[in-house]
Amino acid sequence: MSILTAERALPSPAAGWRVLLVGLGGLGCPAALALVRAGVGVLRLCDDDQVDEANLHRQILFGPQDVGTDKLRAAERTLRPLAQASGTRIELVHSRFLPENARALARDVDLVIEGADNFATKFLVADACHLEGRPLVHGAGLRWLGTAWSVTAAGRPCYRCLFEDVPAEPVANCDAAGVMGPVVGIIGALMAELGLRTLSARGACNQLWTVDGKTDTLRQVPVAARVDCPLCGSAPSIHEIEESRYLAASA
């Protein structure tokens, strides 16, 4: 099976790519669907949350019958027939992505895709992937805006080049501020595309994709590496995962 079914221009991904998907929210759900249908060898889902009725408009793996139940089990039920058809194995990690498991989770896969809903987890994923030399795709969405971009295994430019550090003050999230379902649907599909491109050696884009649902605008913005970046700069100061950097992630 090819990820370009009609043209068969790319090598079969069923050779055994292992992908870790952090977060089964509005971004992770469409990304998971695309990755399973593309036939990645192993898709490992990492989340510990339950399905919330208020999020059904964007979490497209779930239906009303799943409200209040475990997200991973509900996702597995939806994805199972698709996974069987494409030769993908679904694996479940019933945990948040935390400082104590971050490096091991990143080390054990070929690619990490994160659709986390908070900055602390995003920085933790970024640091763990950089330290383990794993490529990473980031995605985010809030109200009418969404972003996606990929970081190579070399890890430069990285998430800290763009956002520097976990915000000191509370910031708006989807639960409080809301998000347009179609916007995160577009971003989730983009995340899967960036991931498949990375896995098939088409390279990372080093461009930040932005989607504005109010103006129907899709743009690419270059991401510049910072010389003084603490993770990937010329004299990095981050050499290991220290829990104190990600207090909100483990709150």
CA angle 62, 66, 72 (to 5 degrees): 70
Q: Peptide bond before 157: cis, by omega within 30 degrees of 0?
A: yes
| Residue 229 touches Zn ion, criterion: CB under 5 A | yes
Whole-number minimum distance, CB 157 to Zn ion, in Å?
5
Q: Which of 44, 58, 134, 160 binds Zn ion (CB under 5 A)?
A: 160
Per CB under 5 A, the segment of 78-86, 121-129, 153-161, 202-210 that binds Zn ion is 153-161
d(C-alpha 91, C-alpha 122), whole Å: 21
DSSP 52: -
Whether 174 sits among the annotated catalytic residues: the reply is yes
Name the residue whose CB lies closest to Zn ion.
Answer: 229
Whole-number minimum distance, CB 236 to Zn ion, in Å?
8
Q: Which of 161, 187, 199, 223 binds Zn ion (CB under 5 A)?
A: 161
Size of the site for Zn ion (CB under 5 A): 6
Q: Which of 174, 205, 229, 232 is catalytic?
A: 174
**Is 174 or 229 the residue whose CB approaches Zn ion more closely?**
229
Per CB under 5 A, the segment of 7-15, 50-58, 212-220, 226-234 that binds Zn ion is 226-234
Per CB under 5 A, the segment of 26-34, 83-91, 113-121, 152-160 that binds Zn ion is 152-160
| Residue 232 touches Zn ion, criterion: CB under 5 A | yes
Per CB under 5 A, the segment of 18-26, 178-186, 199-207, 222-230 that binds Zn ion is 222-230
Helix (H, G, I), strand (E, B) or coil at 145: strand
Whose CA is closest to 191, among 148, 129, 132, 239?
148
Q: Which residue has the tokens 């979490």?
A: 59
Whole-number minimum distance, CB 226 to Zn ion, in Å?
6
| φ and ψ of 173, to 5 deg | -125, 175
**For residues 116 and 187, is the Cβ–Cβ distance under 8 A?**
no
Q: Which of 3, 32, 105, 158 binds Zn ion (CB under 5 A)?
A: 158
Whole-number minimum distance, CB 23 to Zn ion, in Å?
22
CA distances to 5, 16, 36, 41, 146 from 85, in Å: 13, 15, 9, 12, 31
d(C-alpha 137, C-alpha 115), whole Å: 9
E strand or H helix at 130, and its extent? helix 119-132
Would you name the residues annotated as active-site residues? 174
Q: Which residues bind Zn ion (CB under 5 A)?
A: 158, 160-161, 229, 231-232
